[in-house]
Amino acid sequence: MPFTIIQQDITQMQVDAIVNAANTELAMGGGVCGAIFRAAGPEKLQAACDKLSPIKTGQAAITPGFNLPARFVIHAAGPVYRRWDAKQSAQLLRSAYLESLKLALQNGCRSIAFPLISSGIYGYPKDEALQVASAAIKDFLEDHDMEVYLVIFDRAAFAVSKELLGAVESYIDENYVDARQLTRRELLETEYNALTAGMVTSSAESPAASAPHPACAPSFSSSPKPKAAPRGLAAAIEKLDEPFNIALLRLIDAKGKTDVQVYKRANIDRKLFSKIRTGKGYMPGKRTILALAVALELTLDETDDLLERAGYALSHSQKFDVIVEFFIINGRYDIFEINEVLFKYDLPLLGAGG
């Protein structure tokens, strides 16, 4: 996946480069910085840093990873947060991310892991630091291919915009149905309509027949002569006739987007998108399909239709589904923002692998 948020110890990340939230002197400090130095071998890493220091706030420098699983450590000097000059703080923090990504690219890195820079003793509000990080990474990935991780050590300290989180929580309260209760849809709507149509036909032919539960299969006639499919079933089959990949290509054209725009906005890599596009027996998972729906800025009805072609449906018994639905009906199609909220709820993220 091009960009994902995970809970992990950054010193254990199996990536090409990890980023150290450094000071301008590149000296061993506390927190994430101290942990990285200790894991890499403090004497060796400090000696390498001494050759490169000092750097300016917003700049970055690269050293070997030494004892770390990562090949490199990129030392990014984030700003001390100044509330009276929040704009400059944001510019410097953004620069720290972009300079780190440029260094990774120049050194042939295909994967990189960041901490939430400046959000510790430098006092940057965590929700604002997250917004800057996500925006910088998203902009970089518009033009480059790289696996980028934002590593959170303590999920409890992960902060999303209070206004957004409040709106999501209200929507969940209004729409989430506990799994023990009747779900919004136990079957796909097309399946339910088809079965219902079949039952109506059976009931009309045999007045004594009682209406079965929608999940039950329709009864079959004992007549050896084959019957035409009920009208509802025929319509449902016709609706599902178009293969998923063909439907996807049609939607891309209809929305006036390019393949590159779609797979980048869906937070999936080019190889997976190519696999989906060509079909050949491969069907993506539900999370990947929803990511594509977000990238295409589909309405809720269009999203439902695309999911049905792969045998899936949104359900109000799944908190994940309710959260994604909130963003779609409100026209908020930033997959990074959606994933931040999903991560906060300890739920899987949208994109590849789902």
Query: pLDDT digit string (tens) for 247-286?
Result: 999 999 999 999 999 999 999 989 999 999 887 778 899 9
* CA dihedral over 180, 184, 189, 194, signed as positive or negative: positive
Q: Is the pLDDT of residue 16 over 60?
A: yes
pLDDT of residue 1: 60
DSSP string for residues in 9-68:
-GGG--SSEEEEEE-TT----SHHHHHHHHHH-HHHHHHHHHTT----TT-EEEEE-TTS
Q: Is the pLDDT of residue 93 over 50?
A: yes
d(CA 219, CA 133): 58
CA distances from 228 to 198, 205, 225, 231, 232 (A): 11, 14, 10, 8, 11
Name the percent of the chain lying above pLDDT 70: 81
* CA dihedral over 62, 66, 67, 71, signed as positive or negative: positive
Q: Is the pLDDT of residue 54 over 80?
A: yes
**Residue 212 contacts residue 220 (beta carbons within 8 Å):** no
- What average pLDDT score do residues 301-318 get? 94
Given the DSSP bridges, would you call strands 111-114 and 60-64 parallel, antiparallel or unpaired? unpaired
CATH 3.40.220.10 fits 3-159, yes or no: yes
Among 33-42, 192-201, 203-212, 273-282, name the one with the lowest average pLDDT.
203-212
Polymer length of the chain: 354
Q: Is the pLDDT of residue 206 over 50?
A: no
Name the percent of the chain lying above pLDDT 90: 68
d(CA 231, CA 311): 21
Q: Is the pLDDT of residue 183 over 80?
A: no
- What average pLDDT score do residues 185-198 get? 50
pLDDT of residue 340: 93
pLDDT of residue 155: 77
pLDDT of residue 159: 80
* CA dihedral over 14, 288, 108, 10, signed as positive or negative: negative
Nearest to 118 by CA among 104, 106, 105, 136: 136
Average predicted confidence (pLDDT) for the chain: 85
Residues 330-353 pLDDT 10s = 999 999 999 999 999 999 999 855
User: Which residues make up the CATH 3.40.220.10 domain(s) of the chain?
Assistant: 3-159
Other Cβ atoms less than 10 A from the Cβ of 184: the count is 15
**Residue 338 contacts residue 167 (beta carbons within 8 Å):** no
pLDDT of residue 241: 67
Q: Is the pLDDT of residue 181 over 80?
A: no
Main-chain phi, psi angles of 263, to 5 degrees: -70, -30
Name the band, by pLDDT with cuts 50, 70 and 90, for residue 193. Answer: low
Buried b / exposed e over 31-63, threshold 16 CB at 10 Å, is ebbebbbebbbeeebbebbeeebebebbbbbbb
The residue with greater pLDDT, 35 or 221, is 35
Residues 97-138 pLDDT 10s = 999 999 999 999 999 999 999 998 999 999 999 999 999 999
Q: Is the pLDDT of residue 229 over 80?
A: no
pLDDT of residue 351: 85
